[in-house]
Chains A and B, each alone.
Chain A
Amino acid sequence: MLNPGRHLVLGNVACAEGAIRAGCRFFAGYPITPANEISHYMAAELPKAGGFFLQMEDEIASIAAIIGASWAGAKAMTATSGPGYSLMQENIGYAHMTETPCVVVNVQRSGPSTGQATLPSQQDIYQAKYGSHGDYEVIALSPWSVQEMFELTVRAFNLAERFRTPVMLMADGMIGHIKEKLVVPEKVDTVGRRRPTGSECVPFGTDDPSMVPEMPRFGEGFRLLVTGSTHRPSGVRDYTPKYHQMKVNRIREKILKAENEISDTVKVDLEDAEVVVISFGASARPSYGAVKEARSQGIKAGLLRLKTIWPFPEGKISDLADDVDALIVVEMNVGKMVQEVRRVVCGRANVFSVSKIGGVLPSVYEINQVIRRAA
């Protein structure tokens, strides 16, 4: 592990270091570019911290293994990229249905299919929200720097425990594969699992206002049935509409009603802004440069950077729509986040899209040109 202090490391290494410091003690994965360095680092360092590293036969087994590890009491993580993320989707749904805290890292690359296997993208943001079947709500984070690869991995573990849910760290191949400064703190704040306190445990139901049940683990004496089938709070299968509605509504609402606690955005020059760029992850880097350049050109431009992409920060963007003339959404895909922004803005401001595929970032110049046109 790295000593506290200043280091020059890959984004993927910062992610793995953050995971271990957040308390991750089980990692299972299958090799894929551009996420491999996370596995490499975990293989070397996790056993030294008393944890387990397993290379599985594929990504389906990898997500299954971390779900099992979580029910055995460990904080657990897997890391992959596009094709592997597709394979994981069924079991991500299983983790939602069984309310299993775990962290899934997707260092996004350019698809579909094998696509540009070594090049970055932000094409999987809808897959993070809608990739598995059925109704559920997801928490997904988007780091824009090596430092945030560390910090948001820590946060992903904390949110997973706090809400007893899988959390997606939606990194991209650009941030995963750059080396830049990481300052490792002396200590990180971690959230522990809410464990049963009495002699009885209701593993899938609660009266607690958080709507997050206590979570037992296998082998400590509670009668425990974990199933992806619709179940009663006790865990016993029950297909009746009442129990399905109770379950699905609760696993959605526990996240939706905490949107303000989960949602994290960074505002740059928004006070008097007339044109606002909305971006996330690596795309937010040239967006920042383009906004600063626009300011130097006398344009009242600002940036809203999303560190959490799901739940979508509807309230913040809706408020912006009333105050500004134009919103510009910058992303490395064919234009996905912009659809969410258009839905929320609902015609109250002009919405422009700067979307780029091909494994390359939109440039500062390209974004600045759109800001100038929108101003």
Chain B
Amino acid sequence: MEKGIVVAGTGGQGIVAAGEFLAEALFRAGYEVINSRSYGSEARGGSCRSEVLFSDSDIYDLQLDEADILVILSIPAFRRYQNRAKKDALILVDAVVLEKLGESEVRTDVKLVPVKARETAIGLGNPIVANMVLLGALARHSDILSLEDMQGVVREMMRVSMQEININALESGYSQA
């Protein structure tokens, strides 16, 4: 069993942080994990991607060919990466991204879940936690990690001042049907 997740968006949206968070949660759950990142030389605004490969045995691959799960935070990332999803893959996408895409641009052979990520994060007080709203939705729509697994990693890994908002973001994403 080897599975792959791609988190993609724009530099500054917490793409690498979301990949690292998922990787840590999976690692703590006992999986072998490879987490890679790819970004431009811009501090903000360039294309940004994080990949998480996980398996119950050693992983020799370093690059993901096709993803089982996509987490998408920007329009260019959606256009660029939706074709790297397997058939029947789970694609979690910020609802504001999906609204701006034409119907013909969206694949129909995948499980596409729009999540009010940015909107929810702004409501919580900081748009930077949109990534965690999407990861909360991931806990609901896949069986790889539970909400409790993710909350545990927030408590152990994040500085105290950021824990509450991140836990709230996870819960908000999880509770969106």
Contacts and interface: CB of A to CB of B under 8 A. Distances in A.
Interface of A: 8, 33, 117-119, 174, 177-181, 282, 285-286, 288-289, 292, 360-361, 363-364
B38 A179 contact: no
Interface in B12-41: 20, 23-24, 27, 32-41
Given A8-B27, A117-B41, A288-B60, 7 more contacts: A118-B38, A119-B38, A179-B20, A179-B35, A181-B32, A286-B62, A363-B65
A179 B34 contact: yes
A174 B36 contact: yes
Nearest to A287: B60
Given A179-B23, A363-B65, A289 B38 contact: no
B61 interface: yes
Contacts of B126: none
Contacts, number: 52
B80 to A, nearest CB: 15
B83 interface: no
Interface in B39-77: 39-41, 59-63, 65
B27 A178 contact: no
Contact of A361 (B33, B37, B59, B63): B63
A286 B61 contact: yes
Interface of B: 20, 23-24, 27, 32-41, 59-63, 65
Q: Is the interface of A mostly helix, strand, loop or mixed?
A: mixed
Contacts of A8: 23-24, 27, 33, 35
Contacts of A179: 20, 23, 33-36
A286 B65 CA distance: 12
A209 B48 CA distance: 54
Contact of A178 (B32, B35, B41, B65): B35
A95 to B, nearest CB: 30
9 contacts: A8-B35, A118-B39, A179-B20, A181-B32, A286-B60, A286-B61, A286-B62, A289-B60, A360-B63
Nearest to B42: A118
Contacts of A178: 34-36, 62
Contact of A174 (B24, B32, B35, B62): B62
Nearest to A289: B60
Given A174-B62, A179-B33, A33 B27 contact: no
A289 B61 contact: yes
Nearest to A175: B62
A330 B62 CA distance: 15
B32 A285 contact: no
A181 B33 contact: yes
A178 B64 CA distance: 13
6 pairs of A and B residues whose beta carbons are closest in the complex: A179-B35, A8-B27, A178-B36, A285-B62, A288-B60, A117-B41
Contacts of B60: 285-286, 288-289, 292
Contacts of A364: 61
Contacts of B20: 179
A292 B62 CA distance: 15
Contacts of B27: 8, 181
A180 B41 CA distance: 23
A286 B24 CA distance: 24
B62 A282 contact: yes
B62 A361 contact: yes
Contacts of A360: 63
Contacts of B38: 118-119
Contacts of B36: 174, 177-179
A285 B61 CA distance: 6
Given A285-B61, A360-B63, A118 B35 contact: no
Contacts of A174: 36, 62
A177 to B, nearest CB: 6
Contacts of B34: 178-180
A174 B65 CA distance: 16
A71 B37 CA distance: 39
B45 to A, nearest CB: 14
A33 B40 CA distance: 11
B44 to A, nearest CB: 14
A222 to B, nearest CB: 48
B58 to A, nearest CB: 9
Contact of B63 (A33, A177, A363): A363
A184 to B, nearest CB: 15
